[in-house]
């Protein structure tokens, strides 16, 4: 019995020694892996130098994964088995994630840099009191045009896109909500309507645009517009910013009668494994200098009021990307619609694309 006891103690001592060695050889195992921050973001949607800076300042290692649509991101998080500490959904997707209890409430006391956000971007309808989300970037849907092919006065308003002058010269973003929004706004309807008659009228209006549509595409639009392949593109402000940087003949307009204004926000999913690192990252990105550096790299508008003083005046005074109040009051935010209505939007958009063929 004594021998058996000595043998058992020996085994325990050996296990302890091996565990100690493992801790020395594998620092992550030492703290349960909590030195890693996992971010799930849109592709090319952060200055890589900021990730390096964050790692250097905090000692955290960043794992960075990307998605190409809100729906893809939502599906992956909804399926479970993920461990993202930070995700960056758009406003209507945040509404959906809240309904499905996929988000962790945010403790504002841990975010002293939240004070730098412009109040006009806080407490918005999709997340009152910012209980679950922190502003990251915002932007608009608008018209980018090539001054070698069309004059500014001919594309100031959505309704002008139906002009025969633009036959086979418009590139449309491949998005049901955005395409339908153009037709709905032209007909003075809400971009969130679920009224069957209004949606049918908008779809018919959109079908009438098909002679002017050169292509319905996504990311490729940047390349084609930069290469002067079309007179007009219907796209997002940040995409337009990149096009304009590459081709001085391109310009961006937000029609004064209205458009979509969107907000991308940082959230902490319920499945996050390292909330301490998540708060460190949120606070880091809210720092005005970091927010300005990111905005300059990405080309989208920052909601960080204090960051704007670090950006070139030519950027912050550009009304195409920071619209005046008169235009802002006509901009509409997409709401999270019931699935059957989302299906209707998708069906009508598909009809438009088939009509084009």
Residue ranges of the annotated binding site for spermidine are 92
How far is CA 140 from each of CA 261, 267, 354, rounded to the nearest angstrom?
Answer: 5, 21, 27
State the alpha helices, DSSP H only, in the chain. 2-25, 27-30, 48-58, 70-79, 91-99, 176-186, 196-207, 220-226, 237-246, 275-286, 288-298, 313-316, 325-328, 339-356
- 228 neighbors 246 (Cβ within 8 angstroms): no
Q: Which residues neighbour 36 within 8 Å (Cβ) at sequence distance 6 or greater?
A: 28, 60, 61, 62, 63, 274, 277
Phi/psi at 3 (5° precision):
-65, -40
Rg (CA), the chain: 25
- 94 neighbors 267 (Cβ within 8 angstroms): yes
Task: Give the separation between CA 137 and CA 321, rounded to whole angstroms.
Answer: 12
Tell me the two tokens of residue 273: 């494994």
Binding-site residue set: 92
């Amino acid at each position: 019995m004594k021998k058996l006891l000595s043998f058992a103690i020996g085994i325990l001592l050996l296990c302890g020694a091996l565990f100690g060695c493992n801790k020395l050889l594998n620092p992550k195992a030492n703290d349960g892996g909590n030195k890693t921050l996992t971010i799930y973001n849109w592709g090319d949607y952060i200055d890589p130098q900021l990730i390096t800076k964050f790692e250097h300042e905090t000692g955290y290692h960043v794992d960075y994964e990307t998605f190409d649509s809100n729906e893809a991101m939502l599906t992956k998080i909804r399926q479970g088995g993920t461990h993202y500490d930070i995700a960056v959904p758009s406003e209507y997707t945040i509404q959906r994630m809240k309904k499905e209890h996929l988000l962790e409430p945010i403790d504002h006391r841990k975010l002293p840099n939240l004070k730098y956000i412009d109040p006009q971007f806080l407490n918005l309808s999709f997340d009152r009191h910012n209980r679950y989300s922190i502003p990251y970037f915002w932007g608009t849907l608008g018209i980018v045009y090539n001054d070698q092919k069309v004059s500014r006065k001919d594309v100031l308003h959505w309704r002008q896109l139906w002009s025969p002058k633009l036959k086979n010269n418009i590139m449309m973003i491949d998005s049901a909500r955005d395409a339908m929004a153009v037709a709905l706004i032209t007909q003075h309807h809400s971009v969130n309507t679920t009224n069957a008659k209004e949606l049918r009228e908008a779809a018919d209006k959109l079908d009438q645009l098909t002679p002017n549509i050169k292509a319905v595409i996504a990311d490729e639009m940047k390349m084609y517009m930069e290469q002067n392949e079309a007179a007009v593109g219907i796209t997002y402000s940040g995409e337009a910013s990149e096009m304009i940087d590459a081709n001085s003949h391109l310009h961006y307009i937000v029609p004064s009668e209205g458009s979509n204004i969107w907000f991308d926000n940082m959230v902490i999913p319920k499945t996050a494994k390292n909330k301490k690192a998540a708060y460190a990252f949120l606070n880091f990105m809210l720092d005005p200098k970091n927010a300005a550096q990111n905005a300059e790299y990405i080309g989208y508008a920052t909601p960080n009021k204090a960051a704007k003083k670090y950006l070139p005046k030519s950027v912050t005074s550009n009304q195409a990307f920071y619209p005046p109040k008169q235009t802002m009051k006509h901009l509409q935010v997409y709401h999270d619609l019931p699935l059957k209505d989302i299906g209707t939007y998708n069906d009508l958009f598909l009809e438009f694309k088939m009509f084009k063929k």
